[in-house]
């Protein structure tokens, strides 16, 4: 969706209002992609990153 395109946004929203299957598909996709942002996933990624940095520093 182009930035600041009000008409395009309106048409896209209308399409979702009218297309139940598309709404469901997008909702399911959003739930799947949201798992990437789960707090436990983020914490694990930070812990891995910090451990890697500490190991690299210790190896010098």
pLDDT tens by residue, 23-43: 999 999 999 999 999 999 999
> On the CB side of 23, how many CA atoms lie within 13 Å of its CA?
8
Taking the domains of the chain in order of start, what are their residue ranges?
Answer: 6-59
What pTM does this model have? 0.57
pLDDT band at residue 2 using 50, 70 and 90 as cut-offs? confident
DSSP-based three-state secondary structure for 60 = coil
Alpha carbon distance 37, 35 (integer Å):
5
The pLDDT assigned to 49 comes to 98
Q: How confident is the model at residue 16 (pLDDT cuts 50, 70, 90)?
A: very high
Query: Taking residues 4-11, what's their average pLDDT?
Result: 92
Q: Nearest 5 degrees, angle CA 45-CA 47-CA 50?
A: 110
């Amino acid at each position: 969706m182009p930035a600041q395109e009000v008409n395009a946004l309106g048409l896209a929203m209308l399409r979702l209002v009218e297309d139940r299957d598309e709404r469901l598909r997008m909702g399911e996709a959003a739930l799947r992609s949201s798992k990437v942002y789960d707090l436990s996933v983020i914490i694990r990624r930070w812990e891995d990153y910090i451990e890697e940095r500490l190991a690299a520093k210790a190896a010098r």
